[in-house]
Amino acid sequence: MNLIIDVGNTFVKLAVFQDDEMVSKISCEIKDFEKKFNSILKSHKKINKSIISSVGFLNSKQFDLVKNALPTLILDSKTKLPFDNLYKTPKTLGVDRIALVCASVKEYPNNDVLIIDAGTCITYDFITQKNEYLGGAISPGIRLRYKTLNNLTANLPLLETEQPENIIGDSTNNAIHSGVVNGVLAEIDGVISQYKLKFPHLTIILTGGDANFLSKQLKSSIFANSNFLLLGLNYILQFNLNE
């Protein structure tokens, strides 16, 4: 069994896989990581290897806890990958983006695939049917847009994410909701349209924390999968073990 550890800026996801099937998943704050990690090991005694993907900050004690308990692969730019990476600055490519591309290789081989991860940032990653990763784009996510409007202006309030009832905001709050949410939807649909002009048989994956909120509102046909990154990390671990 594999233990997949995905470290974000605030939360850590821990998932247990039996071969290709996810059998357990929990999320916790980074401060609670040690307790949750030990709990998972007690609950799943057949876990025998792990992978860590970190865009956040596990401290050295937390890293050592995992490495001392299990053979552990730390995902970085030197990790062997199941695709040709044509990104011009591979050392700066986020490990979360690497994992998403790997998931697309596993789930949709020999396809032109655009993976959209709607989280703190919205990332777009494209891999061709020839298994060549070309890159993509990065833009602010929904919460980041709300926070930026509040932080960089004197009078605009910080609001919770809310689906606008009308494109025309009839109050400051409603205008913010309309601008943020409809702006994100228009961006994503626009990016998809541009890709489809070059790659008409495009497969589109939407994942990340805001995937469920956005999926039913987008005009384009997509596959929504909130566990796509975890699937990719499991595949990377399997791929490296078989090398």
Same domain? 94 vs 183: yes
Q: Is 31 annotated as a binding residue?
A: no
Q: Is 94 annotated as a binding residue?
A: yes
Phi, psi of 105 (to 5 degrees): -65, -40
At 179-192, the pLDDT tens digits run 999 999 999 999 99
**179 labeled binding residue:** no
CB 206 within 8 A of CB 214: yes
Tell me if 239 is assigned to some domain: no
Q: Are residues 130 and 206 in the same domain?
A: yes
Give residue 243's pLDDT band: very low, low, confident or very high (50, 70, 90): low
Domain edge (last residue) among 45, 74, 103? 74
Please give the Cα distance from 216 to 188 (Å, whole number): 13
Residue range 53-102, pLDDT digits in tens? 998 788 889 999 999 999 999 999 999 999 999 999 999 999 999 999 99
Q: Are residues 204 and 167 in the same domain?
A: yes
For residue 218, tell me if it sits in a domain: yes
Query: 30 is in which domain, residue-wise?
Result: 2-74
In a shared domain, residues 39 and 108: no
Helix ranges, 178-226 (H) = 183-198, 211-215
Task: Say whether pLDDT at 151 is over 80.
Answer: yes
Task: Give yes or no: 96 in active site.
Answer: yes
For residue 6, the cross-strand partners are 13, 53
Total domain count, the chain: 2
Report the length, in residues, of the chain: 243
Cα distance between residue 62 and residue 105, in whole Å: 31
CA 209-130-236 angle, 5° bins: 50
Verify that 10 and 93 share a domain, yes or no: no
- Percent of the chain exceeding pLDDT 70 equals 100
Q: Among the three residues 53, 74, 95, which one is the final residue of a domain in this structure? A: 74
Residue 44: the pLDDT is 94
CATH code for the domain of 49:
3.30.420.40
**10 assigned ligand-binding residue:** yes
pLDDT over 80 (residue 242):
no
Same domain flag for 155 and 207: yes
Q: Residues 123, 60: one domain?
A: no
Q: Kindly tell me the burial class for residue 43, based on how many C-beta atoms sit within 10 Å of its own C-beta (0-12, 13-18, 19 or more).
A: exposed
Over 70: is that where the pLDDT of 200 sits? yes
Q: Which of 96, 112, 125, 210 is catalytic?
A: 96
Instruction: Output the pTM of the full model.
Output: 0.92
Per residue, the 3-state secondary structure of 101-113, as one string, reads HHHHHHHCCCCCE
